[in-house]
Amino acid sequence: MANRQGRGAGSPLIRLITWNVRGLNGPVKRSRVFSHLKGLQADVAMLQETHLRVVDQVRLRRGWVGQVFHSGLDIKNRGVAILVGKRVSFVAAEVVADKEGRYVMVRGRLQGEK
């Protein structure tokens, strides 16, 4: 996370982005969304309405994405995801995902902090 220093001594900033993507099933749209997120230098991206089935969550793995937390259905409806970039030190302690694809909550250590 070069060139992004916080107010504290040496504390890096984490760039959080939330986006209602209104579906990621099309390969062109998915590519554009991930390209835009990469251009924004997203460290953590929280995506709503991914419309990806549980078996399709592998499509969320890209070069800059280190961890994926997803909640979806077996139909192309609803769906949310949290993508954590590889540059971010994050250790998940607990993940709670709604079976209806409405939310996913992750608790853990981000950059060594609870």
Instruction: Dump pLDDT digits (tens) for 15-61.
Output: 999 999 999 999 999 999 999 999 999 999 999 999 988 888 889 99
Taken in order 108, 69, 33, 38, the sign of the CA dihedral is: positive
Q: Which residue has the higher pLDDT, 73 or 2?
A: 73
d(CA 89, CA 112): 7
Q: Is 27 exposed, middle or buried (0-12, 13-18, 19+ CB in 10 A)?
A: exposed
pTM value is 0.85
| Contact (Cβ atoms closer than 8 angstroms) between residue 52 and residue 61 | no
